Amino acid sequence: GLIGQQTRVMDLKGKVVVPGFIDSHVHFISGGLQMAQVDLHAVKSKSEFISKVEQAVQDMENEQWVLGGGWNNEYWGGDLPQASWIDNITHDHPVWLSRMDGHMGLANSVALEKVGIHNLKNDPVGGTIVKNIYGAPTGLLVDAAMQLILPHIPEATIQERRDAMLRASKLGLSRGVTAVVDFGRYFPGTSTSRVWQDFFEVYKWADETSRMLLRVCLYFPLETWSLVADTFKDTGRTLSQWLHIGGVKAFTDGSLGSNSALFYEAYADDENNHGLHVANPDWLLDSVHEADKYWKL
């Protein structure tokens, strides 16, 4: 009774069909870019970490940035990587390798010198320049401290970002993911303009040229809430069958994995560390209240 003239019948030979998965928190274009960079997601040891970076450097031109990330120090016992791990194999290449949570990254000594971090005595507000017992930077930058290096990294081109979105989409579909909630290329220390550039130059382009492969729900930085309200006041949140505007995003503190999540009590392995306020609490509260008046959160 359910089969009509237009019904397509498939014999699954005993297999099960389930609805597509929805990934509720991704940084979609960032992930797509990282797929073409140094991929450290599966690294399980210090030696493997070093080997991955060494392999990447071999095919690069002199002084070219080595970019990548996805590393998780918990996979090899918890010890955080240091610039000294990779300095002797990266030579004149500046390096930036982000942790899997996006709240911490590792720079080599060439990158630290390039942006003058060795000369800084104080941490930026909302961030930490991790130092060794002698007061020298280890290469690790946490949360807002990443803004010291990220502006110096060459920006991905429009074509690279479009390719990254399509690359990530194909990977998602291959895993049964048919919709994602994208919080954008927006991390502590990055410019809010990236999210807007990706919306207009990548997502709008893909939607208007019929290149969308899965549904995307977009979130924009809270700092730009008024622009969100103005831009979508006529269209509403649903832009097409592929694109939907979810709301706005802000950071309150860091992350557990980077030891920067904020707590009343100190970390068990660092009695001087309670975590970080990434955003001013008063500004955060005021901004949320204002945004909610115009764009129900």
Query: What's the CA gap between 244 and 185, in Å, rounded?
Result: 17
Sign for the pseudo-dihedral over CA of 199, 205, 208, 209: negative
Q: What is the reported pLDDT for 296?
A: 72
Amino acid at 200: F
CATH class, 1-34+155-297 region: alpha beta
Q: What is the reported pLDDT for 118?
A: 83
φ/ψ of residue 180, rounded to 5: -135, 155
Residues in the chain: 297
Query: What's the CA gap between 95 and 37, in Å, rounded?
Result: 12
- Residues forming beta bridges with residue 99, ordered by sequence position: 71
Q: In tens digits, what is the pLDDT along the chain, a chain of 297 residues?
A: 789 999 999 999 999 989 999 999 999 999 999 999 999 999 999 999 999 999 999 989 999 999 999 999 999 999 999 999 999 999 999 999 999 999 999 999 999 999 999 888 899 988 999 999 999 999 999 999 999 999 999 999 999 999 999 999 999 999 999 999 999 998 877 788 999 999 999 999 999 999 999 999 999 999 999 999 899 989 999 999 999 999 999 999 988 988 899 999 999 988 999 999 988 999 999 999 999 988 776
Domain 1-34+155-297 and domain 38-152 have a common topology: no
DSSP class of residue 240 equals S
- Pick 38-152's CATH classification: 3.10.310.70, 3.20.10.10, 1.10.3720.10, 3.40.50.2300: 3.10.310.70
Residue that is written with structure tokens 């450097």 in the block = 57
Q: What is the reported pLDDT for 297?
A: 62
Give every CB contact of residue 201 below 8 A, 6+ residues apart in sequence.
Answer: 158, 161, 162
Q: What is the reported pLDDT for 278?
A: 87
Q: What is the reported pLDDT for 120?
A: 85
The alpha-carbon radius of gyration of the chain (Å, integer) is 21
Domain residue spans in the chain?
Answer: 1-34+155-297, 38-152
Predicted TM-score (pTM) of this structure: 0.85
